[in-house]
């Protein structure tokens, strides 16, 4: 009798899991319709040709798309930059495509994109948002091995820490993943601007295994951070619902090269589209102009910066009006 009860319970749990997965997939298909090429409408890669020889690779976050970088891409293009914001593997397609993607695929694609941009431009900066910031950190640490010198690194709300409870969940994903096909991120406060909340193309959902892949990227980035020699700017909100201020400060301390931390006060995690995005653009522009000068301009004097890197003082951002 007991074996029959256990078998019936297992079948019921399996049926419930399938039903929950189907509901989530239907909702995502309704909210994020695909174009004919199989990519979510508006989620395509962004490429803008500049005019002064400088280029920037922009990397989006976990479960998100280049749409979260569109404003920044247009801002940089208007200043003469060539900009490339690729769509990472599995992202911006169906949730099942996302579920099948891996940390290796994301990092490999980002590495290939950087190499392709460097093949066409002598001066290439790297900008990453959230998980894209973790990927950018890993790539920046590779510059000594590949013979390239990265002139500037910008990390916007970089995902370089994960709460302990989430780490435990990620490590136990083979167990609880048997009953929970998808996990909702509960990221309503990632963007404070209601209009931008409506425009986002982020899934807001992942699988238990994907949570573990995100943990792997985060760990890789933390191990890479002390090896980064490129001048590094970190822009972070104190109201970030993903990364508490103290976690950001601990991650920032891992970088040993020239660095600066800028704090914002009135936005969430995806600050490239939120209320203080114009401040983000100003800070990114300031950093890139200082370390990636126009052709013919004098190179920045960074002598001695490394010695004072550990004493870099975080700057408190002003309170701008909403963009």
Q: What is the mean pLDDT of residues 114-135?
A: 96
Is the pLDDT at 321 greater than 90? The verdict is: no
| DSSP state, residue 34 | B
Q: Which two tokens stand for residue 296?
A: 């013919």
Residue-wise pLDDT for 201-247, tens only, equals 999 999 999 999 999 999 999 999 999 999 999 999 999 999 999 99
Where do the structural domains in the chain lie, given as residue ranges?
A: 1-31, 42-316
3-class SS of residue 319: coil
Q: What local confidence, expressed as pLDDT, does residue 145 receive? A: 55
Read off the pLDDT of residues 270-319 as tens digits, 9 standing for 90 and up: 999 999 999 999 999 999 999 998 765 554 544 334 333 333 545 544 33
Q: Is the pLDDT at 13 greater than 90, yes or no?
A: no
List of residues 6+ apart from 294 with CB closer than 8 A: 52, 53, 54, 80
Which of 3.40.50.1820, 3.40.50.720, 3.40.50.970, 3.30.70.20 would CATH assign to domain 42-316?
A: 3.40.50.1820
Q: Report in angstroms the alpha-carbon separations of 289 from 50, 127, 273, 285.
A: 15, 13, 22, 6
Lowest mean pLDDT among 7-11, 176-180, 244-248: 7-11
Residues 6+ apart with CB under 8 A from 6: none
- In this model, does residue 114 exceed pLDDT 70? yes
Name, in order, each residue with C-beta under 8 angstroms of 45's C-beta and a sequence gap of 6 or more: 66, 84, 85, 86, 87
């Amino acid at each position: 009798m007991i074996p029959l009860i256990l078998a019936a319970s297992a079948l019921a749990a399996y049926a419930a899991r399938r039903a929950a997965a189907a509901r989530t997939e239907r909702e995502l298909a309704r909210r994020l319709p695909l174009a004919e090429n199989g990519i979510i409408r508006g989620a395509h890669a962004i490429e803008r040709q500049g005019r002064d020889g400088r280029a920037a690779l922009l990397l989006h976050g976990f479960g998100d798309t280049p749409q979260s970088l569109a404003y920044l891409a247009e801002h940089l293009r208007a200043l003469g930059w060539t900009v490339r914001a690729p769509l990472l593997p599995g992202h911006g397609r169906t949730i099942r495509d996302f579920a099948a993607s891996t940390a290796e695929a994301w990092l490999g694609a980002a590495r290939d994109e950087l190499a392709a941009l460097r093949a066409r431009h002598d001066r290439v900066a790297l900008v990453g948002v959230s998980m894209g910031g973790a990927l950018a950190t890993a790539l920046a640490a590779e510059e000594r091995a590949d013979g390239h010198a990265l002139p500037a690194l910008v990390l916007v709300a970089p995902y370089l820490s994960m709460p302990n409870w989430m780490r435990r969940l990620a490590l136990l994903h083979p167990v609880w993943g048997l009953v929970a096909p998808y996990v909702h991120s509960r990221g309503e406060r990632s963007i404070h601007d209601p209009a931008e909340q409506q425009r986002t193309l982020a899934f807001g959902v992942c699988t238990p295994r994907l949570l573990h892949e995100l943990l792997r990227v985060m760990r890789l980035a933390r191990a890479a951070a002390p090896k980064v020699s490129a001048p590094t700017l970190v822009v972070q909100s104190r109201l970030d619902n993903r990364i508490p201020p103290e976690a950001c400060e601990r991650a920032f301390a891992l970088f040993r090269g020239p660095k600066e931390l800028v704090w914002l006060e009135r936005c969430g995690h995806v600050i490239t589209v939120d209320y203080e995005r114009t401040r983000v653009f100003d800070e990114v522009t300031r950093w890139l102009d200082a370390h990636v000068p126009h052709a013919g301009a004098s190179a920045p004097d960074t002598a001695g910066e490394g010695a004072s890197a550990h004493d870099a003082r975080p700057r408190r951002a002003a309170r701008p009006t909403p963009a």
